[in-house]
Structure 1
Amino acid sequence: MRKKHSRFSEEDRISLLRAYYQSGLSKYSFCKLHSLSGLRLLNYWIEKYGDKVKSLSSPSITSTEEDMANRSKESYREENAQLKKRIKELEKALSFSRLETEARDLMITRAEEYFNIPIRKKSGAK
């Protein structure tokens, strides 16, 4: 027995395409989620209505650009101070990590000398 396919109005197709572009899902996942008959149908709609949907859904100014335009100098200074503080923390963590690596290398070198066995892998090993 064949499954009866539902028909979509043009408004439904456009709204589904808008939802597809905003969802970030793969075509397959989107078709499965919205019970579309297959990828062929979605590809056909994209080909037919894609330009129309993209032109309607892309605003000229995004909300982040508006937020940045309306921010005060004080908020920029605060964010800059927070970022500088974060950079100092990360540099400190990086230097500590480098010291740890150097200490491990030194320990391995001393162990190789003391026990007279190779611990590190050789570059040409098969």
Structure 2
Amino acid sequence: MSDISKSRRVFDTAFKMSVVAEFLQGTHSKRSLCNKYSIPSTSTLRSWIRIFAPDNELHDTPMPKKPQSENEEILALRRLLQEKELCLKREKMRADFLDEMINVAEEKFQLPIRKKAGTKR
């Protein structure tokens, strides 16, 4: 019986960022980029997008291409505004959650966790 081991290909961070940037331009699909750069699967590329473009809420679709008419541009801008408002709402909820978590931890462990305002002189 032969011992066959699969070798993992390691990509450097600069390469990952350049591939993600190319995807976000909207000129290539995930599959075409995977084929172009010999990336094992689209899930690998999807994870890179989540890491290097966290503000991109549409991880499974590229950034929208330039609209052809003024009405399409207005609709695209409205969709973008809704996405940004949703992202802002999530971040506000996250900040509130973290703030409450710190309050509970300070109360439970009787330790000051937050930094005091101002700097020491």
> In which range does the TM-score fall when normalised by the shorter chain?
0.3 to 0.5
Per the normalisation by structure 2, the TM-score is: 0.42
**Of the two, which has the highest radius of gyration?**
1
Per the normalisation by structure 1, the TM-score is: 0.40
> Which structure shows the bigger proportion of residues in helix conformation?
1
